[in-house]
Amino acid sequence: MTNILVINAGSSSLKYQLIDVATEQVLAKGLCERIGTAGSNLTYKTADTTIKERPEAMPNHTVAIEVVLAVLTDPAVGVITDMNSIAAVGHRVVHGGELFTHSAMIDEECIEDIKACIPLGPLHNPANLMGIEACQKAMPNVPQVAVFDTTFGQSMKPSVYMYALPYEAYTEHSVRRYGFHGTSHRYVISEAMKKLDKPAEQTRIVSCHLGNGSSISCAKGGVCVDTSMGLTPLEGLPMGTRCGSIDPAIVLILMDRLGLSHAEMDTYMNKKSGVLGLSGVSSDFRDLWKAWLEDGNERAKLALDMFCLSVKKYIGSYAAEMGGLDAVVITAGVGENDRRIRKMILGDLEYLGLDIDWEKNETTPMGDEFEMSLPDSRVKAFVIPTNEELAIARDTYALIKA
Ligand code: ADP
């Protein structure tokens, strides 16, 4: 049996996919929204049907999982006959701190360790645990696996993950670089490795996850060397609404001048900054292009320029850090769909050995996987749509087989 149920539980939402890892096909997927409030609803879809939506009373995650299992096994719209057709459940868990260096089978000890990481992932880990506990109740005999966003970054060296603060910030408060989007980076890097004409262990790849949240990672032989997000997802690139890396003294100065509380400063940097804050237009790159190209909005152009420059600087610094570069991979909502952004990022990188097929960049349908570099380019560039659910399903299956 090769059907894996992948669960991504948020505080009021729960996404699922049922994936057959033998064929890597998605049999069914869906989303429970507004769990715990009036007006909760289920959206679901199978390989052969269009998206359907219906109201479902879901006072908590336990009921949400029951609703998901009911729709998966429903004689009319379901795709499996009963729960025995599910080999295992794979859960996305955001923060594994230093306790998890790989995906893990869920048992009591694993749950205690995920709880111990709550201070590092206070918004996400409790919600992820609700999803795990709900599945344990509904499917007590089905093995469960936790796949963490942070394990990919656990291979970074101390000289990469430490901050130059008093050492006790690390030993007493776990302040270090963890990195996020790890499952996405790991997935696209492993796909890119298969396409390179080089022994896997020698590959040096930079992966650019450019979405509403954005981060860059680099890996040698598929093992993470560095990544742009830090203790939290705020560090690194300017994002949709996050400021990314700034002079840390700015925080103190602005809190003082604007009289902001901790919570207000947090919102200022996480929700009001990035390309939204710069442009005053939107966090969505489609809106930024429209504002610049149709209305000549200079601040929208500034936001686009700053975003692309930041990505370019990471590519250069990571090539230096790895002692060379074999491929750049671009993924996620902006990377997979925005040809102009790809052009701004990868333009003028011939000096690194990157020769791009600009025609292909223009003509390949949005969301498709393709090789962006010319056949004789020394360094390759790929657009590879990310698939975190498949990566979670693969890990889950590998662990239950072991
Ligand atoms: P999340 O971080 O929420 O998972 P995604 O990876 O789905 O985000 O990326 C969403 C973002 O992708 C949107 O905010 C938008 O900026 C961008 N995007 C989506 N489609 C396009 C497009 N056709 N052109 C440019 N940007 C796009």
| Ligand 1 pocket residue status of 314, Cβ below 6 Å | no
From 149, 226, 326, 395, the catalytic residue: 149
According to the model, what pLDDT value does residue 48 have? 85
| Ligand 1 pocket residue status of 284, Cβ below 6 Å | yes
What distance in angstroms lies between residue 278's CA and the mean position of ligand 1's atoms?
18
Question: Cα dist. 208→186, 308, 327, 386 in Å?
Answer: 11, 11, 11, 11
Nearest protein CA to atom 1 of ligand 1, as residue: 212
The contacts of residue 214 (CB under 8 Å, 6+ apart) are: 208, 236, 237, 239, 240, 307, 311, 332, 334
Above 90 in pLDDT, residue 160?
Answer: yes
Read off the pLDDT of residues 360-388 as tens digits, 9 standing for 90 and up.
Answer: 999 999 999 999 999 999 999 999 999 99
| Other beta carbons within 10 Å of 323 | 9
Pairing of strands 214-220, 204-210: antiparallel
pTM of model > 0.85? yes
Read off the pLDDT of residues 188-237 as tens digits, 9 standing for 90 and up.
Answer: 999 999 999 999 999 999 999 999 999 999 999 999 999 999 999 999 99
Q: How high does pLDDT run on average in the chain?
A: 97
According to the model, what pLDDT value does residue 197 have? 94
- Ligand 1 pocket check: which of 242, 286, 389 to mutate, most ligand atoms within 8 Å of Cβ? 286
| Ligand 1 pocket residue status of 244, Cβ below 6 Å | no
What distance in angstroms lies between residue 392's CA and the mean position of ligand 1's atoms?
22
What distance in angstroms lies between residue 332's CA and the mean position of ligand 1's atoms?
7
Nearest protein CA to atom 23 of ligand 1, as residue: 337
149 catalytically annotated: yes
Edge-to-edge strand list for the sheet holding 144-148: 52-55, 41-46, 25-33, 14-20, 3-9, 88-93, 144-148, 104-105
What distance in angstroms lies between residue 163's CA and the mean position of ligand 1's atoms?
31
Give the mean model confidence (pLDDT) for residues 324-349: 97
What percent of the chain has a predicted confidence (pLDDT) above 70?
Answer: 100
| Ligand 1 pocket residue status of 213, Cβ below 6 Å | yes
Q: Band of the pLDDT at 47, cuts 50, 70, 90?
A: confident
Q: Ligand 1, closest atom to CA 386?
A: 6
Nearest protein CA to atom 7 of ligand 1, as residue: 333
- Is the distance from CB of 266 to CB of 242 less than 8 angstroms? no
Q: Band of the pLDDT at 316, cuts 50, 70, 90?
A: very high
Distance CA 50, CA 43 (A): 10
Q: Band of the pLDDT at 332, cuts 50, 70, 90?
A: very high
What distance in angstroms lies between residue 337's CA and the mean position of ligand 1's atoms?
8
**Half-sphere exposure of 386 toward its Cβ, with a 13 Å CA cutoff?**
23
| Ligand 1 pocket residue status of 334, Cβ below 6 Å | yes
